[in-house]
Structure 1
Amino acid sequence: MLSELQAKLDYVNAYRENRLMAAQYVLENQHLFGELVTICFSPEDKNNHKACWILEFVSYEELIWLQPHLDFLSSNLKVLKDESAIRPIAKVVQLLVKSHYKKNDDSILLSEENLQDCIEASFDWLINDVKVATKAYSIRTLYVLGNHYDWIHPELQMILNKDYGDHSAAYKAVAKEVLKKIEK
């Protein structure tokens, strides 16, 4: 018997409106959130990538819901292999890292281990063969992290300069923007 969430995910497709409707359903049924996170990091689940799409949209509204799931999420970043799952999770990682360093009442609190997992995954996504959106999210995430870990900016700078000529205009635009910030 399919769970309530699995039944919903079966009908999700790539259309933005469709993904937004599914995210709205989760936002209205918070009890489904833990299962959503679990499905995101279950690559063997046929709805894995769809769950990741939904998690991204839910995170824009209720990022704080991830707080109790951070150890699970960060330690499982490396299990993702499908580009359709990695791209939205790279965006969620970017949101988490930005929130962590914002330091206000609704900031996400990442442990040192969570941060290390985010650094490792972001560098992996940056240097491996993934689509440009994932790389762009990773570049921006690493830039933020590099403001707090002094070894990251030099590594990021080296990778961006080395790979600059091999990528699309979109990659070059993000790389140029971040390199300019690093070099200030």
Structure 2
Amino acid sequence: MTTTELYKELNYVNHSREKRLHYAHLMQNNPSLVPKLLEILFMVDDKISPRAAWVFEFMCNNDIDTIIPYLDIFTKNMQKIHLDSAVRPVAKICEFLAKAYTSKTDNNIKKALTEIHKERIIETCFDYMINDEKIAPKAYSMNTLFLFGKEYDWVHPELALILERDFQMQSSGFKARAKHILKKIKKNPKP
């Protein structure tokens, strides 16, 4: 399947779990399609870009290891994503990576995620926190930053500052997640 054919195929992806899962499995069964999916995902002004993001999110949720060969491409380009419906899955993928990396069980993400990858993820998540994004990307970013803040001692103070500063102006969903994260930060002070 060419990139053009995959692009046309992505027209059939919608919000249904069934469609997203179908195309996620298609990618996993045909790894040669993943670079083409990412190429479409990073056509950041195109209305099909979010559909590629949805499929990539489902693919990573199904098996996070499938992102490993594409960590450089993904982390290098993710900050370019700006359409709301594409930002949410990208933020969610960042959270998947942070959860896998900070997991107590050994896994391949711990070996594959480099300092550069983590720095790019942290930078993008902070951008989501300070930019005018919807609640979902902010919520995923809060959690990602909290998790990476266990390794990078400067992250928690910066995150707490943003959460406290923006608290009153945000939605009840933001406030609930922010309270939860702030409580966790205060419970785990750095030595």
Instruction: Give the TM-score normalised by the residue count of structure 2.
Output: 0.89
Query: In 1, are the aligned partners of 2:28 and 2:66 still within 8 Å (CA)?
Result: no
**Corresponding residue for residue 8 of structure 2:** 7
Unaligned runs of 5+ in 1: none
2:44 maps to 43
For the 8 Å contact 2:88–2:136, the answer to whether it is kept is: yes
Q: CA deviation at 1:2?
A: 6.2
Structure 2 counterparts to residues 82-121 of structure 1, below 5 A: 82-102=83-103, 104-108=106-110, 109-121=112-124
Instruction: Count residues in correspondence.
Output: 184
Are residue 172 (structure 1) and residue 175 (structure 2) matched? yes
Residues 1:156 and 2:163 aligned together: no
Structure 1 pair 64–167 and aligned structure 2 pair: CA distance change class (3 A): same
Q: State the AA in 2 paired with 1:176.
A: K
Distance 2:147 2:3 in 1: 40
CA shift, 1:21, in A, is: 2.3
Aligned position for 1:182? 185
Secondary structure, aligned partner of 2:109: coil
The separation in 1 between residues aligned to 2:128 and 2:186, in whole angstroms, is 23
1: CA distance, partners of 2:78 / 2:164? 26
After superposition, the Cα gap between the structure-2 partners of 1:180 and 1:24, relative to the gap in structure 1 and judged at 3 Å, is same
**Contact kept? 2:142, 2:159, Cα under 8 Å:** yes
- The answer on whether the counterparts of 1:8 and 1:22 sit within 8 Å (CA) in structure 2 is no
Q: Counterpart of 2:139?
A: 136
Output the CA distance in 2 between the equivalents of 1:56 and 1:111: 20
Match of 1:77 in 2: 78
Partner of 2:65: 64
Which residue number in structure 2 is paired with residue 30 of structure 1?
31
Shift of 1:69: 1.0
- The separation in 2 between residues aligned to 1:113 and 1:156, in whole angstroms, is 20
Unmatched segments (≥5 aa) in structure 2: none
SS in 2 for 1:107: helix
RMSD across aligned positions (CA): 1.7
